[in-house]
Chain A
Amino acid sequence: MMEQSKTHPGQRTQRVLDIAAALAVLGALALVIFYAPLEATMGAVQKIFYFHLSAAWAGMLSFMIAAIAGGIYLARRQTRWDQLSLSAVEVGLVLMLMAIVGGSIWARQAWNTWWTWDPRLTTVTIMELVYLAYFLLRQGVDDPERRARFGAVYAVVGFLSVPLMYLSIHLYRTIHPLLLGSTAGDGMQLAPRMTQTLLISLAAFSVLLAALLYRRVRLARLADTLDALRQQMD
């Protein structure tokens, strides 16, 4: 009973991040529903775009964190960087999956199909598969030090798939909408309220990413503690 009532500094930070993330995401959702105007052609379904783009943004950011943490692990060989890299890959995969699923539902209305092998959709699939393979690689290596090293190299190299996915709509002919056009006029024209809602959604998902990462890193620490205890007993 006594042990449960104790709050560690990590738990307190986690609670603050959880509350901040929940409030930020719910606030952004309220803006999407009540504040952002309806788009003239697509109507309400266009509003999926706010969380679709924000989830994709947070996912890409997470993969970048994974690559940076992987690079730092290779330089310093400290377990915490491997834990962060692993956590960022997992959280990034979930956020990207959210973006893909939301985009697919939007596409059913806008393109009249759930899926098409457009360059953006193809490259995002490749990216998801690249990061899924990261877990297969880690599972195939027993030695924790080698597993962390291989994972770190993979997280750095795998990050190449992120700019490829991002730039695919600029490099190839695509039906996927462009938020930021390469030349004036080919990007999305957003009303001020739409831009404000989008920016707040992006900020909300950045807070959400921090909360999820923090929780996942704590989980990775617990897993490593258990591994260490098992090795001590064997």
Chain B
Amino acid sequence: MNSFPWMVGGYVVMLGLLVIYIITLLVRARRLKTAIRARKMQH
């Protein structure tokens, strides 16, 4: 049986998880920077 699609699926899911995590890191960093800037402006 051809298991090539399973290999592709495996890599897509594994690397997809990684990409999603990296995006969450970037979004969280941007939100924190915005919040810090806002707090400093209030000071």
Task: Report which A residues bind B (CB closer than 8 A).
Answer: 25, 29, 32, 42-48, 51-52, 55, 94, 97-98, 101-102, 105-106, 108-109, 208, 212, 215-216, 218-219, 222-223, 225-226, 229-230, 232-233
Compute how far the CA of A225 lies from the CA of B17 in the bound complex, rounded to whole angstroms. Answer: 28
Count A-B contacts at CB 8 Å. 90
Chain B positions within 8 Å of A52 at CB level = 10, 14
Given known A94-B18, A233-B42, contact A105–B36 (CB-CB < 8 A): no
Task: Report which B residues bind A (CB closer than 8 A).
Answer: 1-4, 6-7, 9-11, 13-15, 17-18, 21-22, 25, 28-29, 32-33, 35-36, 39-40, 42-43
Question: Interface majority SS on B: helix, strand, loop or mixed?
Answer: helix
Shortest C-beta distance, B38 to chain A (Å), equals: 9
Given known A29-B11, A222-B32, A226-B36, contact A45–B17 (CB-CB < 8 A): no
Contact B39 A233 (CB under 8 A): yes
Given known A45-B3, A106-B10, A219-B28, contact A98–B18 (CB-CB < 8 A): yes
User: Contact check: which of A25, A102, A216, A219 meets B13 at CB < 8 Å?
Assistant: A102
Question: Interface majority SS on A: helix, strand, loop or mixed?
Answer: helix
Given known A215-B25, A219-B25, A219-B28, contact A44–B13 (CB-CB < 8 A): no
Closest 4 CB pairs of A and B: A45-B3, A48-B10, A222-B32, A105-B10
Compute how far the CA of A47 lies from the CA of B4 in the bound complex, rounded to whole angstroms. Answer: 9
User: Contact check: which of A101, A109, A215, A222 meets B6 at CB < 8 Å?
Assistant: A109
User: Contact check: which of A45, A98, A230 meets B14 at CB < 8 Å?
Assistant: A98
Given known A219-B28, A226-B32, A229-B39, contact A102–B18 (CB-CB < 8 A): no
Contact B7 A230 (CB under 8 A): no
Chain B positions within 8 Å of A97 at CB level = 17
Contact A43 B14 (CB under 8 A): no
Chain A positions within 8 Å of B17 at CB level = 94, 97-98, 101
Contact A51 B32 (CB under 8 A): no
Chain B positions within 8 Å of A229 at CB level = 36, 39-40, 43
Chain B positions within 8 Å of A42 at CB level = 3
Residue among A32, A97, A219 facing the most chain B CB atoms (10 A cut-off) = A219
Given known A45-B10, A101-B13, A229-B36, contact A109–B18 (CB-CB < 8 A): no
Compute how far the CA of A176 lies from the CA of B7 in the bound complex, rounded to whole angstroms. Answer: 18
Chain A positions within 8 Å of B25 at CB level = 212, 215-216, 219
**A43 to chain B: closest residue by CB:** B3
Compute how far the CA of A229 lies from the CA of B7 in the bound complex, rounded to whole angstroms. Answer: 48
User: Contact check: which of A55, A109, A226 meets B39 at CB < 8 Å?
Assistant: A226
User: Contact check: which of A29, A43, A105 meets B4 at CB < 8 Å?
Assistant: A43
